[in-house]
């Protein structure tokens, strides 16, 4: 049981908590009543605000709608007024622009094109909205007049500012002068930059708005004339210089002069191609070596043609760069094709004339003249890659002109080579044409000179022979290893073999002809000297040049063979002295004892021997002194060999019989001392002695 005291304390505690809870409950009730009252007041306020908003909305919305309608009406009025102003402006275009169109675009192209744009828009407006309006005819006529003025301005600008390129500038362009800085290449300025921009703007307008292509014909006709005249001017420059000073300005000789404005290249899209004219100095040097001592007129013509070919490539490339700025892309190739025709046809015609001249020269056996084809052909073939690049996109007939000319030159060159070989073989043995002193025949020197001149054109001459399928004629074997090499290397090897075989053929024909000619001489010794001189000249000429290496390609023993021929002719010549030395050899000479008196028969025999030797020596020295051996080394060698033999034989004879009393007048028979005999032989082959 709980003690009474504790129970009483617990009850008081519970009563206190109950009292507190009742107080809390009373507070909550009071708070709820206040909250309800506040809620009612807020609802009343919101209801009142909503009512006021409804009244405001009902008042404002009609005003807003009315204002919006007024603004729309104002905008419509403004647009209508603007349209009226725009339409009215079309009716004033003709009067506003007529004066500008009448005065033309010269000096104010920008303003003129602006007026043409206004007229174009007016035409479009009237066509769409009032096709029957008289204003349409007015603006149409004005537009056509303006277009004609632009076409006329285009022609005028091209005509006034397109100038013939100076020959000196062309020579600088194609010279390949090492002193010129590659980064600052000379580039032609066909038109001043401001004029070029005007021309470009007019051309673009004519294409886009004028729907006119006639200006392209005007362009190519004017530029074609300038290109053709520039090349002809270069050719005339060579003629004038050759007639006045004898030495035309040549890129092979650095001489930097300019009398025509130039500019650095302007970088534009599509202008990345660089057509460098190569090989020109090489072609000119070959030409000068080839034509040394030739007719000056022929020299100048060849020089001029080589320059004109390179000038065409350079100028045509420059023309194409200019054309790409002026002519629409899809018309560029056709226009360029037309532009270059006159100049290209002129070059091809002149090349054909060279071929015809070579053909006539072959008919009259003037083969040195035919050699003018070689430097030209070589230059054409070396320049062909540049030609092909320049002529990309042109008609097939245009592209084929240069290859056709090259083929013609190769054909005539091959014919010249073959006819030359035949002419060497069949040159007649004319007595009056034979050298009286047995020196080198003109045929030999001409043949060697011709062959030496071919050395500068080994590939060209080889290609000529190969073009006529002469390999079968010469029966050239091919090394199987070479057939697997590159086409270029193989072609070079074949060309070298063909040329080697051809040279051997010419030398063989020459040798046969010389043998035939030598029979014209009645004296076998002179015939031997003649053959010796010619064989020696041939051998020395082969050794001094690369001909000996070229001959060795197909004939390994050619050098040894010529040396053997030379030695054979020396031996034949030496036999001419046998009839002199036979008089004084011991054969059939009398044998006697010292102190024993000679018989009359023996004395007479010794006299005859001395007389025969003296007469023979004098006769041979007199005759052979007029003969010639141009080669000093060979002349000294032959003299010395003959002198040794004769002096030895005569010395022995004189030693044996000089003191024998075979005559009362010894000075009559012993006319020469041994040294005198040697001196006489030393004067052989010396017409000045």
SS3 122: helix
**pLDDT for residue 268:** 37
pLDDT in tens, 352-385: 999 999 999 999 988 888 888 999 999 999 999 9
| Element at 112 (helix H, strand E) | helix 109-129
Tokens read off for 113: 């094109």
| Distance (Å) of CA 19 to CA 13, 28, 260 | 10, 15, 126
Nearest in space to 92 (alpha carbons), one of 44, 51, 126: 126
468: pLDDT strictly greater than 90: no
Contact 378, 283 (CB under 8 A): yes
Average pLDDT (601-612) is: 88
Burial of 121 (0-12, 13-18, 19+ CB in 10 A): middle
The residue among 487 and 331 whose pLDDT is bigger is: 331
474: pLDDT strictly greater than 70: no
**pLDDT for residue 283:** 47
Average pLDDT (116-142) is: 83
Tokens read off for 611: 């007389």
What is the C-alpha to C-alpha distance for residues 453 and 451, in angstroms, rounded to an integer? 5
pLDDT in tens, 658-676: 888 888 888 888 999 999 9
What is the C-alpha to C-alpha distance for residues 645 and 327, in angstroms, rounded to an integer? 90
- 257 — pLDDT class (breaks 50, 70, 90): very low
Average pLDDT (150-163) is: 92
To the nearest whole number, what is the mean pLDDT of the chain?
A: 82
Residue 589 DSSP label: P
Average pLDDT (632-653) is: 93
Q: CB-hemisphere CA count at 13 Å for 273?
A: 19
| Distance (Å) of CA 380 to CA 342, 405, 506, 680 | 18, 9, 27, 59
- 475 — pLDDT class (breaks 50, 70, 90): very low
Contact 305, 354 (CB under 8 A): yes
Q: What percent of the chain has pLDDT over 70?
A: 82
Question: Cβ of 36: how many Cβ atoms within 10 Å?
Answer: 10
pLDDT in tens, 296-329: 556 678 888 999 999 999 999 999 999 999 999 9
Residue 651 DSSP label: H
| Distance (Å) of CA 429 to CA 424, 514, 515, 536, 554 | 11, 9, 10, 21, 30
Return the sign of the alpha-carbon dihedral for residues 334, 339, 340, 343.
positive
Burial of 488 (0-12, 13-18, 19+ CB in 10 A): exposed
| Per-position b or e across 97-112, b if 16+ CB within 10 A of its CB | bbebbeebbeeebeeb
What is the C-alpha to C-alpha distance for residues 485 and 615, in angstroms, rounded to an integer? 70
| Element at 263 (helix H, strand E) | strand 262-263
SS3 377: helix
How many residues belong to the chain?
689
What is the C-alpha to C-alpha distance for residues 255 and 269, in angstroms, rounded to an integer? 34
Locus of tokens 């080697």: 500
What is the C-alpha to C-alpha distance for residues 28 and 16, in angstroms, rounded to an integer? 19
**pLDDT for residue 226:** 94
Tokens read off for 216: 């392209």
- 442 — pLDDT class (breaks 50, 70, 90): very high
- 247 — pLDDT class (breaks 50, 70, 90): very low
Tell me the pTM.
Answer: 0.72
pLDDT in tens, 29-75: 888 988 888 888 888 888 888 888 887 778 788 777 777 877 777 77
pLDDT in tens, 547-595: 999 999 999 999 999 999 999 999 999 999 999 999 888 776 666 666 6
Contact 249, 259 (CB under 8 A): no
What is the C-alpha to C-alpha distance for residues 546 and 496, in angstroms, rounded to an integer? 12
What is the C-alpha to C-alpha distance for residues 547 and 456, in angstroms, rounded to an integer? 11
């Amino acid at each position: 049981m709980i003690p009474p005291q504790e129970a009483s304390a617990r009850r008081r505690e519970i009563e206190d908590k109950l009292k507190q809870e009742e107080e809390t409950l009373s507070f909550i009730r009071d708070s709820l009543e206040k909250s309800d009252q506040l809620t009612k007041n807020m609802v009343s306020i919101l209801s009142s605000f909503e009512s006021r908003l409804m009244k405001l909305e009902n008042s404002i919305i009609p005003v807003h709608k009315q204002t919006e309608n007024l603004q729309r009406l104002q905008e419509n009025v403004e647009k209508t007024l603007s349209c009226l102003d725009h339409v009215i402006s079309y009716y004033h275009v003709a009067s506003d622009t007529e004066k500008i169109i009448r005065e033309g675009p010269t000096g104010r192209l920008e303003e003129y094109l602006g007026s043409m744009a206004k007229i174009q828009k007016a035409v479009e407006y009237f066509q769409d909205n009032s096709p029957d309006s008289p204003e349409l005819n007015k603006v149409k006529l004005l537009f056509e007049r303006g277009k004609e003025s632009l076409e006329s301005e285009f022609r005028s600008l091209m005509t006034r500012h397109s100038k013939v390129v100076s020959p000196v500038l062309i020579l600088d362009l194609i010279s390949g002068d090492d002193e010129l800085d590659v980064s600052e290449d000379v580039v032609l300025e066909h038109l001043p930059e401001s004029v070029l921009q005007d021309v470009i703007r007019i051309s673009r307008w004519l294409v886009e708005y004028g729907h006119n292509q006639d200006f392209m014909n005007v362009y190519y006709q004017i530029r074609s004339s300038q290109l053709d005249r520039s090349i002809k001017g270069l050719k005339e420059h060579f003629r004038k210089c050759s007639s006045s000073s004898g030495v035309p300005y040549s890129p092979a000789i650095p001489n930097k002069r300019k009398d025509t404005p130039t500019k650095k290249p302007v970088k534009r899209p599509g202008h990345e191609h660089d057509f460098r004219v190569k090989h020109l100095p090489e072609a000119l040097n070959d030409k000068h070596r080839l034509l040394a001592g030739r007719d000056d007129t022929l020299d100048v013509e060849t020089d001029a043609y080589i320059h004109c070919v390179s000038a065409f490539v350079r100028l045509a490339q420059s023309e194409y760069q200019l054309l790409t700025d002026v002519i629409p892309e899809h018309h560029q190739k056709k226009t360029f094709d037309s532009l270059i025709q006159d100049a290209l046809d002129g070059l091809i015609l002149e090349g054909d004339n060279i071929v015809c001249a070579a053909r006539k020269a072959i008919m009259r056996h003037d083969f040195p003249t035919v050699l003018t084809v070689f430097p030209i052909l070589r230059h054409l073939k070396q320049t062909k890659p540049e030609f092909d690049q320049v002529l990309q996109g042109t008609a097939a007939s245009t592209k084929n002109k240069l290859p056709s000319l090259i083929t013609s030159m190769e054909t005539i060159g091959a014919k010249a080579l073959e006819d030359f070989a035949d002419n060497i073989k069949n040159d007649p043995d004319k007595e009056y044409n034979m050298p009286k002193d047995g020196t080198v025949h003109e045929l030999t020197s001409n043949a060697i000179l011709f062959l030496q001149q071919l050395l500068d054109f080994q590939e060209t001459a080889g290609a000529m022979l190969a073009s006529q399928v002469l390999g079968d004629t010469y029966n050239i074997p091919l090394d199987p290893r070479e057939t697997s090499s590159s086409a270029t290397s193989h072609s070079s090897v074949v060309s070298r073999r063909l040329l080697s075989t051809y040279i051997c053929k010419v030398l063989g024909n020459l040798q046969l002809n010389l043998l035939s000619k030598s029979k014209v001489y009645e004296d076998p010794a002179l015939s031997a000297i003649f053959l010796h001189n010619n064989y020696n000249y041939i051998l020395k000429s082969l050794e001094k040049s690369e001909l000996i290496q070229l001959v060795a390609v197909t004939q390994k023993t050619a050098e040894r063979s010529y040396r053997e021929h030379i030695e054979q002719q020396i031996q034949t010549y030496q036999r001419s002295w046998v009839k002199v030395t036979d008089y004084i050899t011991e054969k059939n000479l009398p044998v006697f004892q010292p102190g024993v008196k000679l018989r009359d028969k023996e004395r007479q025999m010794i006299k005859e021997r001395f007389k025969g030797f003296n007469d023979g020596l004098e006769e041979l020295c007199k005759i052979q002194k007029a003969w010639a051996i141009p080669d000093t080394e060979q002349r000294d060698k032959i003299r010395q060999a003959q002198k040794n033999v004769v002096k030895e034989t005569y010395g022995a004879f004189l030693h044996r019989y000089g003191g024998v009393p075979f005559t009362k007048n010894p000075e009559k028979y012993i006319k020469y001392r041994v040294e005198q005999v040697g001196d006489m032989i030393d004067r052989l082959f010396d017409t000045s002695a």
